[in-house]
Amino acid sequence: MKVGIMQPYFFPYIGYFQLISAVDEFIVYDHIKFSKKGWINRNRILVNGSPTYITLPLSRASDHLNVNERFLSGSWVNERRRLINRITESYRRAPQFDTVFPLLETCLFFDNPNLFDFINHSLGVMREYLEIDTRITISSTISYDQASKAENKVLSLLKAVGAKGYINPIGGQELYSRERFHANGVDLAFLRSGTIEYRQFQNPFVPNLSIIDVAMFNPKEAIKRFLGIYDLI
């Protein structure tokens, strides 16, 4: 059984969904420290031809809290409307707007302020739209050594679910040792996305934007083909 493990990301780029579709079981971390520098509560869309951040506002809290202990800010009700307006203004002429916009509304109007639950719901909506049937598991539901760190934590999770293979995004090559994984009975591979390019109005192509951008400009069947454009190394 091949497994992938990732933090929850807010409308992540196509590579995130490639990883989900490449494995038999996808584990989403919910009790991992929230990082302001990552992609948990933000991503980028195309605004007037330029990549622009969209962000979920969070209530003030300790930096030591886990993702499942963080909550959306009370200002989200107002900021949500501004975000929806920005998406509408940016993509209303996109070919798939009428299909995709209702999905985004379903995600953005989800009535749960818990950060993990909110993002996990939106990931589920997009997985269903793309017909990805990979089994999804929340990390806190698994009995493993939660006190372990980095590579040891991953190996503990993989052992707990009986994984024989682990696929990680290409950026993790410097973090994980094939020999160490092999010694623990797990084949390690890295997913390297291939070239995916599509028309974004008349603008020069900007890669690695949110799945929002991909879905607005491409029909579902095209995106499903994109999911297979990668190499395992």
DSSP string, 46-83: EETTEEEEEE--B----TTSBGGG-BB-TTHHHHHHHH
Would you mind telling me the total number of residues written for the chain in this entry? 233
Q: What distance in Å separates the CA atoms of residue 137 and residue 129, rounded to the nearest whole number? A: 19
Under 8 Å between Cβ of 30 and 8: yes
- Count of domains observed in the chain: 1
**Residue 27's domain spans which residues?**
2-232
Q: 34 to each of 30, 101, 175, how far by Cα in Å?
A: 9, 28, 19
Environment class of 90 (CB within 10 Å of its CB; exposed 0-12, middle 13-18, buried 19+): buried
Output the tens digit of pLDDT for each of the chain's 233 residues.
999 999 999 999 999 999 999 999 999 999 999 988 899 999 999 999 999 999 999 999 877 899 999 999 999 999 999 999 999 999 999 999 999 999 999 999 999 999 999 999 999 999 999 999 999 999 999 999 988 888 999 999 999 999 999 999 999 999 999 999 999 999 999 999 999 999 999 999 999 999 999 999 999 999 999 999 999 99
Under 8 Å between Cβ of 28 and 173: no
